[in-house]
Amino acid sequence: MKKGNAKSVTSKDLDKFVEQEIKDIANDKQIHLFKNQNVAVSVSDSPEIEMLGFSNNHQKNLITEITRYLVIHGSKLVYGGDLRQNGYTRLFSDLVYQYRPTKEANKKFFKNYFSFPIYLKLKTSDELEFKKNGVEPIKIPAPEHLDIDTTKFYPPDSKENLFIWAESLSKMRLEMQSSINARIFTGGNMSNFKGKYPGLLEEALLALKEDTPVYLVGIFGGITQRIIMGIQGSKPKELTLDWQSKVNDRYGDFVRFYNSMKTENIIDYSNCTDFLNNYTLGRISKNNGLTIEENKRLFTSIHTSEIIFLIMKGLLNVSKK
């Protein structure tokens, strides 16, 4: 994934780090740095990826490597997603099956959260494949206050149905947040979403408010890059209702409807931006085990090895606390 022939200095550190761990495991020392740690990966395709000189395959290659290191070191992967063909749910499922330790073949290494009504589309064949691959599908029911038929699939084609989707996705993300120890972000759609906000933005706000260790990888742009910009004091136009209403058909009407149905936790981009602007790099560093300079490097690095090294270093430092 590196541009040109440049090589990150820390790739050597990563090689040594992993090599020693592999030796330890091979010697039956069973050293799992992050055993029983639930690490969530927040990722979706970025609309800017080609403009930045990359492709979706570059992003999937990075996610593959991150997943490999996490599973090797005992982490349980967590993701909230759907069953789109070539999507990340299926990718994570295949990767966990491939990289999980042979001696722990019956252990679940991947929890995938499905919100209502998405999980109604799960087929028996999907469930069987998950079981074979060591995946634990977690179905989060619709919020009780919606008072709807929970056996019916509601297509997101009206503001009333979009309200059901948004409330259900928020409930799923909140329950997922309560079960994780750290979260990694990269890429992310900035428009055409079905929740209150772009998915990665909502997940980032939940994680940061809980002071969860967060690792922001800015290489592929997208909503992750806008979160980084917000934390660094900017007010990205993509994090405004005006911009979102222009690029998302009928989103402005949906926001007005959504806010008319709520008395708290309304859709408010100004509040989101203010929160990010006031969430300092020092606070991120205190929580994620990296220095301020290391976090800045993670924001901008284009080197796979360096990105993984920084994430692993941060997780290791956090696990030592």
Given pLDDT bands bounded at 50, 70 and 90, which one contains residue 2? Answer: very low
Among 103, 41, 44, which residue's Cα sits nearest to residue 72? 103
Question: Residue 27 above 50 pLDDT?
Answer: no
Question: Tens of pLDDT along 293-303?
Answer: 999 999 999 99
Domains and CATH numbers, the chain: 34-288 (3.40.50.450)
Is the Cβ–Cβ distance between 192 and 198 less than 8 Å?
no
Asked whether the bond before 141 is cis by omega within 30 degrees of 0, the reply is: no
For the chain, give the percent of residues with pLDDT over 90. 69
Question: Residue 319 above 90 pLDDT?
Answer: no
Question: Residue 29 above 50 pLDDT?
Answer: no
- What are the distances in angstroms from CA 109 to CA 37, 75, 202, 303? 10, 7, 25, 26
Strands in 45-171 per DSSP E: 76-80, 110-115, 135-140
At 12 the pLDDT is 62
At 25 the pLDDT is 41
Given pLDDT bands bounded at 50, 70 and 90, which one contains residue 7? Answer: very low
Question: Tens of pLDDT along 61-114?
Answer: 999 999 988 888 888 899 998 777 668 888 888 888 888 777 776 778 899 999
Given pLDDT bands bounded at 50, 70 and 90, which one contains residue 4? Answer: very low
Among 36, 46, 105, which residue's Cα sits nearest to residue 77? 36
Among 99-113, 211-225, 300-314, the minimum mean pLDDT is found in: 99-113
Question: Tens of pLDDT along 148-200?
Answer: 999 999 999 999 999 999 999 999 999 999 999 999 999 999 999 999 999 99
Among 97-111, 133-147, 207-221, the minimum mean pLDDT is found in: 97-111
Q: Which of 2-11, 104-113, 236-245 has the highest mean pLDDT?
A: 236-245
Tokens of 189: 């759609």
More confident residue, 105 or 237: 237
